[in-house]
Amino acid sequence: MTEGKGTSGRGQRELRVRVKTAKGRKLSSTLWLERQLNDPYVQRARKEGYRGRAAFKILELDDRYGFLRPGARVVDLGCAPGGWCQVAVVRVNALGQNPKKPVGTVLGVDLQEVEPIPGATIHQLDFLADDADEKVKGWLGGRADVVMSDMAAAASGHKATDHLRIVALVEAALAFAFDVLEDGGTFVAKVLAGGAENEMQAMLKRNFCKVANVKPPASRSDSSEKFVVAQGYRGREIADGRGDAGQGGDSRD
Domain ranges of the chain: 21-50, 52-252
Alpha carbon of residue 132 to chain centroid: 20
Instruction: Taking residues 18-33, report their average pLDDT.
Output: 48
High-pLDDT (> 90) share of the chain, %: 57
Alpha carbon of residue 183 to chain centroid: 21
Using alpha carbons only, what angle is made at residue 68 by residues 65 and 70, rounded to the nearest 5 degrees?
130
CB 231 within 8 A of CB 186: yes
What are 158-212's pLDDT values in tens digits?
777 777 888 889 999 999 999 999 999 999 999 877 655 788 899 999 999 999 9
CB 211 within 8 A of CB 250: yes
Q: Which residues pair with 76 in a beta bridge?
A: 108, 148
What are 28-67's pLDDT values in tens digits?
554 444 455 556 767 887 888 898 889 999 999 999 999 9
Give domain 52-252's CATH architecture: 3-Layer(aba) Sandwich (3.40)
Q: Is the dihedral of CA 248, 163, 174, 145 positive or negative?
A: negative
Note if the pTM is more than 0.95: no
205 labelled catalytic:
no
Nearest CA among 204, 227, 240 for reference residue 65: 227
Q: Which residues pair with 147 in a beta bridge?
A: 75, 187
169 contact partners, CB below 8 Å, separation of at least 6:
149, 151, 152, 153
Out of 76-80, 118-122, 243-247, least confident range:
243-247
Of the listed 57, 190, 205, 226, which one is catalytic? 190
